[in-house]
Amino acid sequence: MIFLINDIESRLSDEMANPEELKKLYDQGKNISAHLREVKGLTKNTSDIIEQSYDLQSGSYSSAMDSQSMQKHKQAYSAEVADVIRSVCNPQTVLEAGVGEATTLSGVIAGLGDQPDFYGFDLCWSRVAYARKWLQSNQHNGVQLCMGDLFQIPLADDSVDVVYTSHSIEPNGGKELPLLAELYRVAKKYLILIEPGYELASSEARERMEQHGYCQNLVGFSEDLGYEVLDHWMLGAVANPMNPSAVTIIRKNGEHHQAGLTWVCPKYKTALLKKGNVLFSKSSPLVYPIIGGVPCLREEQGVLAGKFQEFMDQQGP
């Protein structure tokens, strides 16, 4: 009986998350994350809720750049982010964790120049696809992008000079500690968080952040983890006063030198090689697809194919 009840609840939840119905609700201006939390009886966002919401939103950030006022804001915002990065070091590698449609990353590239190697990943395939398109339209063709999960970043320890976020931790309230630990793992020199400034915001803004399940207390959580927090302040360029951005700078002295930065298996952290339209590792049994030019590097997207290399070797080049 318990299994039957669980099965009925699961099917009802799936029906309420019908793609066509969600699209209608999105077009009507409904907050999809809030709707799905209500349907599932949750107070916090889950990865699947965030992904479904992101997928429906895909394209909206690029389209918003048609507005001169949005262009002006994004230029000011990205310039501030670039200035923050430049103030701490001259990085050779930079990662935007949760790159969205790369409307921020493209401005950061413009601010820092082409000297660093730039990387980005996002939970949602559609957003990465739009990010590729946006970067190409702005002549930023050397950026390495993939699908990835903030909780299992497909990069090795101490591999990127500067890792930064731009409101990507935001919807993951209640999961701050594992997210910070994973971002810190990948960073070599600095982790820069540009996230909702809950502690510095107005009471009205804090109430809104709580309703949406946004992250909080990033400074406190970072210090609890033993990280060296250098500074914390409110960013100047604010598009929405009800969701202001705060900057948190964390310094790290990475122990390893990562030459020839490459994507790794998100589960086993072994370097991936490209063969046709897949990525595989000689030291991992998981094989990951490349869809529409986007490497899909979330653990659940990996295919268990331990004999992949053996069969490919038999087929020859």
**Averages of pLDDT over each 10 residues, the chain, 317 residues:** 39 58 89 89 89 92 96 97 97 97 98 93 98 97 97 97 97 97 97 97 96 95 98 94 96 74 95 95 95 97 93 74
* pLDDT score of 6: 43
What Rg, from alpha-carbon coordinates, does the chain have?
Answer: 20
Whole-angstrom Cα distance, residue 205 to residue 47?
Answer: 24
Does domain 273-315 fall under CATH 2.20.25? My reply is yes
Coil, strand or helix at 18: coil
Kindly give, in sequence order, each residue whose CB lies less than 8 Å from that of residue 315, ignoring residues fewer than 6 positions away: none
Q: How many CA atoms lie within 13 A of 263 on its CB side?
A: 30
Contact 125, 274 (CB under 8 A): no
Q: Look up tokens 């077009």; give the residue.
A: 27
Overall residue count recorded for the chain in this entry: 317
Whole-angstrom Cα distance, residue 274 to residue 267?
Answer: 17
Contact 176, 221 (CB under 8 A): yes
Contact 54, 172 (CB under 8 A): no
- Please state which of the four CATH numbers 3.40.50.1980, 3.40.630.30, 3.40.50.720, 3.40.50.150 is assigned to the domain occupying 67-251: 3.40.50.150
List the Cα angle 23/148/224 in 5-degree steps.
110
Quick check: do 67-251 and 273-315 share a fold? no
Burial of 251 (0-12, 13-18, 19+ CB in 10 A): middle
* pLDDT score of 40: 86
Q: Where are the domains of the chain?
A: 2-62, 67-251, 273-315
Burial of 131 (0-12, 13-18, 19+ CB in 10 A): buried
Q: What is the DSSP letter of 291?
A: E
* pLDDT score of 280: 96
Query: Residues of 158-185 as b/e, b for ≥16 C-beta within 10 angstroms?
Result: bbbbbbbbbbbbbbbbebbeebbebbbb
Classify the C-alpha dihedral 148-193-200-107 as positive or negative.
Answer: negative
Whole-angstrom Cα distance, residue 266 to residue 24?
Answer: 34
Q: What is the DSSP letter of 244?
A: -
